[in-house]
Structure 1
Amino acid sequence: MARQAFRMQLKPGAAAEYRARHDAIWPELSALLHESGISDYSIFLDEETLALFAVLDLAEDNNRDALPDHPVMKRWWDHMAPLMEVEPGNRPKEWPLTQVFHLP
């Protein structure tokens, strides 16, 4: 199991809707993420900068790299694109974060 962290960026005025959409996450998306080897996935918001900080555990035998091609993932990205900075194809822009401290 490996832990990964990355940053994403919300657009101004989108925080409440971003939270509401995640509170109502689609069951098929949750299942897809688990089936892909993702667990213990959290996203935190810096309300001052609108930066999102995501942390997840990734199984050794994961297939996270296949997610961008999955229809459910593409639909979710399209659904979320108006709220955040995205790449072409509506994949959220991600900036990897480097772990500098861990207290087990």
Structure 2
Amino acid sequence: MSLVRVCFTLQLKVECIEEYKHRHAAVWPEMLVTLKAAGWHNYSLFLRPDGLLIGYFETTSLHQAQAQMAATDVNARWQADMAGFFEDLDGAPDEDFAQLDEVFNLEDQLAALAPAPNHFTTKGD
């Protein structure tokens, strides 16, 4: 199973930062389980003091992971609850984010440097 890395940004309203952090200190257990089941792996959020939110997760398919979440009641409730925290949203926070292009990954470049395994041996090896 090959995972793609997804990184995105959203802008929090500065006056909402502390409440946003408070709510994410203990996300609803049902939401946590649903995210994992929908294929959101290694999911993290990072926040700057000015409200810039950076999200990162790994999944087999961004479209499929978003579609699976969109089909759940817990996600509809969570997104409605979170929508007021953000500036300039035209949709749900988990679908209206600005996705970033990955330009460097250490592990990918190191793997590209490694020689292909040699499965042939010669006498005396």
TM-score tier, shorter chain, comes to 0.7 to 0.9
The answer on 1:103 being equivalent to 2:97 is no
1:1-104 matches, cutoff 5 A? 1-48=3-50, 50-59=51-60, 63-64=64-65, 65-85=67-87, 86-88=89-91, 91-92=92-93, 93-104=96-107
Identify, as 1 or 2, the structure richer in strand: 1
Percent identical: 31
Number of positions where the alignment pairs a residue of Structure 1 with one of Structure 2: 100
What TM-score does the superposition give when structure 1 sets the normalisation length?
0.86
* C-alpha distance in structure 2 between counterparts of 1:42 and 1:54, whole Å: 6
Summarize deviations over 1:30-59 as a string: whole Å, max 9, x none: 0000000111101111223x1111000113
Query: Whose RCO is larger (CA < 8 A, sep 6+)?
Result: 1
Identify, as 1 or 2, the structure richer in helix: 2
Supply the AA of the counterpart residue of 2:101.
T
- Superposed structure 1 runs of 4+ greater than 6 Å apart: none
Unaligned ranges ≥5, structure 1? none
Unaligned ranges ≥5, structure 2? 108-125
Alignment partner of 2:27: what SS?
Answer: coil
